[in-house]
Amino acid sequence: MNSSRNSKTQTEQTGLTLVLGATGKSGRRIAERLTKKGVPIRIGSRSATPAFDWNHEANWDACLNGVEAAYINYAPDLAIPGATDSVQAFVDKAKHCCVRRLVLLSGRGEAEAQACERIVQDSGLDWTVVRASWFNQNFSEGAFVDMVQAGQITLPAGDTLEPFVDVDDIADVAVAALTDPGHAGELYEVTGSRLMTFADAAQELSQASGRDIAYIQVPHDAFVAGASESGAPKEVVWMLDYLFSTVLDGRNAHTTDGIERALGRPPKDFADFARETAATGVWSAVA
């Protein structure tokens, strides 16, 4: 008997969970957790086969073939102009391909992100929204890691309070929503357990790393110009401008119980994140 008749190619598998942004902060963790649970997954990234790219809708059918659940992570941010059109097109395609469950990563205090939430909520599919505050991991894997390594977090954040959330917690919530009953129709607004300024965060990072890491306030326009001059992609510069001029205005200066409701436990504290991350050596001073 021809064994090829008894095997399925990646695009012929069924019951898959598609993880978009599977090489990023949250997607990578979600893919790892699902794999450990024995859940068959499809990696949604430009380097995967089939490749997923938000800018190439023609490839989406192949990515969605055989998929039962999907984690939607729009890069670089749902606030980017055109994101709502892309999310609507993806949801329509998912329905056409008989996807049953959608989990959307959203952002707090972003009108555009909330518009994308409504698209998912109105899809007619089982849905869960994970609306997250600023990530702890921005200091270790994202836009601010170079600043931490240099010992100066130079941002136009002022003394605005933010309940930074750990991406490990986000991943745990998303995995529960993708695999367990009881999460359909839930909007989990996820935050850390306490409010902190960026200066507070710098102090925690200093204590954990044993280095002097300072927060330095810079003018907004100078920060945006510096990001542009550094060679950052145009959409990333736009996003940073938007986040620091609009979202970080105090509108999110309160904690929520989303992680407790979803997981039955408190969120990881920023100090624990800082201590665990410092032990990896990622914040060692740049020579």
Q: What pLDDT, in 10s, does the model give residues 169-205?
A: 999 999 999 999 999 999 999 999 999 999 999 999 9
Split at pLDDT 50, 70, 90, the class of 22 is very high
Does residue 158 fall inside a structural domain? yes
Q: What is the CATH number of the domain that holds 186?
A: 3.40.50.720
The residue range of the domain holding 133 is 13-278
In a domain, 52, yes or no: yes
For the chain, the domain total comes to 1
- 283 in a structural domain: no
Q: What is the pLDDT of residues 208-242, one digit of tens each?
A: 999 999 999 999 999 999 999 988 889 889 999 99
Residue 257 included in any domain = yes
Is 286 domain-assigned?
Answer: no
Domain assignment present for residue 2? The answer is: no
Assess if residue 7 is contained within a domain: no
Please list, in sequence order, all residues whose beta carbon lies within 8 angstroms of the beta carbon of residue 153, skipping any fewer than 6 positions away. Answer: 139, 144, 147, 198, 201, 202, 213, 214, 215, 216
Alpha carbon of 255 to those of 84, 203, 204, 266: distances in Å? 27, 20, 19, 12
